[in-house]
């Protein structure tokens, strides 16, 4: 099986570090290291964790019309995105469903840098080429660049030893910087709810940079297991689980990701796939939506579990769930009938035939600690 899987540039290093490898999005990826998922999770919350996310897709768009062209595919303000910043975006289809979620950085007025999900990157490339090929140059970087994520409260201290300018960056800022003499793209962002950075690095130098970061006393390698529990505590969606092509941004509770200027009453309203459906849902509501759930017992509630009301009627389904090590308690997200989505609503999840009481909860479950500058 592993012979048929793709490998990231850090594959040999993962094996050297004792990682347990699993298939993920077509790649052989580390799910955990000898430290174990629980300790990896807590270490990231307390110090700094290094994640290999090189399986994700990096794409460059070049041309004076690149921003306007991309804006026609997403309900997000790309044209006015300042150089040196990035923004969360969604590719939508004609029905308003989510084809993928991605990060878009403006490197210059004529260059955009995209990071898309691993399982979607080939389809995303086709999507971009079919719509934008006549407007800008589309350059996939799948083979030439790796991606590392350094996450946790000590990430800034660690990375500042390699380049002090990272200390002055704030959440969602983006810069081209040399780290240990290696030309990198660095953004102050991540997928854990913690402060931290994502670092795009040339493939041939990825292991050198990873070893340099791992040599710092605060840094431990972290696998997919802790990555999932961290993002779940932070209330962050995983594509293919908490959102998909059948579900709109409004159903996914991602209405905040639709830029003000792109909304129905905005200066550049519409023009993206599914706009009318999404606008109608913003106005009229949706029958179901993504919410947080806190199980009231110690039993974790996993993806796929049915959610029922007091009479046993099915009213939703869990889309992500597991144990939250920071909370020392199980947490979950679910699609719930909107009329039952109010905070503290009492429901039940069916786990192996047992009814587990749950309550609708605010998200994130653990407060996000993104660095937005001095108060």
Coil, strand, or helix at residue 113? strand
User: What pLDDT score does 149 carry?
Assistant: 99
* Contact of 195 with 156, CB cutoff 8 Å: yes
pLDDT in tens, 345-356: 999 999 999 999
Predicted confidence (pLDDT) at residue 1 exceeds the cutoff of 90: no
pLDDT band at 317 (very low <50, low <70, confident <90, very high): very high
pLDDT in tens, 48-87: 999 999 999 999 999 999 999 999 999 999 999 999 999 9
User: What pLDDT score does 88 carry?
Assistant: 98
Count other Cβ atoms within 10 Å, centred on residue 309: 15
User: What pLDDT score does 33 carry?
Assistant: 99
Q: Could you tell me the two tokens for 71?
A: 């804006």
Q: List CB contacts of 366: < 8 A, sequence separation 6 or more.
A: 45, 193, 233, 234, 324, 326, 327
pLDDT in tens, 230-265: 999 999 999 999 999 999 999 999 999 999 999 999
pLDDT in tens, 259-294: 999 999 999 999 999 999 999 999 999 999 999 999
List Cα–Cα distances, 5 to 27, 118, 144, 225, in angstroms: 5, 13, 18, 19
Q: What percent of the chain has pLDDT over 70?
A: 99
Per 3-state DSSP, what percentage of the chain is helix, strand, and coil (rounded to 5)?
Answer: 25, 35, 40
User: What pLDDT score does 374 carry?
Assistant: 75
User: What pLDDT score does 37 carry?
Assistant: 98
Predicted confidence (pLDDT) at residue 316 exceeds the cutoff of 60: yes
Instruction: Give the integer Cα–Cα distance in Å for 69 and 116.
Output: 17
Mean pLDDT of 11-17: 98
Instruction: Give the integer Cα–Cα distance in Å for 19 and 21.
Output: 6
Query: Comparing C-alpha atoms, which of 4, 50, 46 is closest to residue 23?
Result: 4
Q: Could you tell me the two tokens for 290?
A: 């993504």
pTM of full prediction above 0.85: yes
Backbone phi and psi for residue 305, each to the nearest 5 degrees, phi listed first: -65, 135
User: What pLDDT score does 76 carry?
Assistant: 98
Instruction: Give the integer Cα–Cα distance in Å for 14 and 248.
Output: 37
Predicted confidence (pLDDT) at residue 154 exceeds the cutoff of 60: yes
């Amino acid at each position: 099986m592993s012979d048929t899987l793709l490998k990231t540039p850090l594959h040999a290093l993962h094996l050297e570090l004792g990682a347990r490898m699993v298939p993920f999005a077509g790649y052989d990826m580390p799910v955990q290291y000898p430290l174990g998922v629980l300790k990896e999770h807590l270490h990231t919350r307390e110090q700094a964790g290094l994640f290999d996310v090189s399986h994700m897709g990096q794409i460059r768009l070049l041309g004076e019309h690149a921003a306007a062209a991309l804006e026609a595919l997403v309900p997000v303000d790309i044209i006015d995105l300042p150089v040196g910043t990035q923004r969360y975006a969604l590719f939508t289809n004609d029905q308003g469903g989510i084809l993928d979620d991605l990060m878009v950085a403006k490197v210059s007025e004529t260059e955009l840098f995209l990071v898309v999900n691993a399982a979607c990157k080939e389809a995303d490339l086709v999507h971009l080429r079919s719509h934008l090929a006549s407007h800008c140059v589309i350059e996939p970087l799948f083979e030439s660049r790796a991606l590392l994520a350094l996450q946790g409260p000590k990430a800034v201290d660690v990375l500042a030893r390699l380049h002090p300018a990272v200390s002055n960056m704030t959440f969602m800022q983006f810069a081209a910087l040399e780290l240990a003499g290696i030309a990198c793209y660095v953004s102050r962002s991540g997928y854990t709810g913690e402060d931290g950075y994502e670092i795009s690095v040339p493939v041939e130098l990825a292991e050198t940079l990873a070893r340099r970061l791992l040599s710092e006393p605060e840094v431990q390698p972290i696998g997919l297991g802790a990555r999932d529990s961290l993002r779940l505590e932070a209330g962050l969606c995983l594509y293919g689980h908490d959102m998909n092509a059948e579900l709109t941004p409004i159903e996914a509770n991602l209405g905040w990701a639709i830029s003000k200027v792109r909304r129905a009453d905005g200066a550049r309203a519409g023009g993206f796939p599914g706009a009318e459906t999404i606008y109608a849902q913003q106005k009229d509501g949706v029958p179901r939506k993504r919410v947080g759930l806190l199980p009231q017992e110690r039993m974790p509630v996993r993806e796929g579990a049915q959610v029922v009301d007091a009479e046993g009627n099915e009213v939703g389904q869990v889309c992500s769930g597991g144990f939250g090590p920071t909370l020392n308690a199980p947490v979950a997200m679910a699609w719930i009938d909107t009329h039952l989505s109010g905070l503290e609503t009492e429901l039940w999840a069916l786990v192996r035939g047992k009814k587990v009481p749950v309550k609708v909860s605010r998200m994130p479950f653990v407060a996000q600690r993104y660095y937005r500058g001095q108060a």
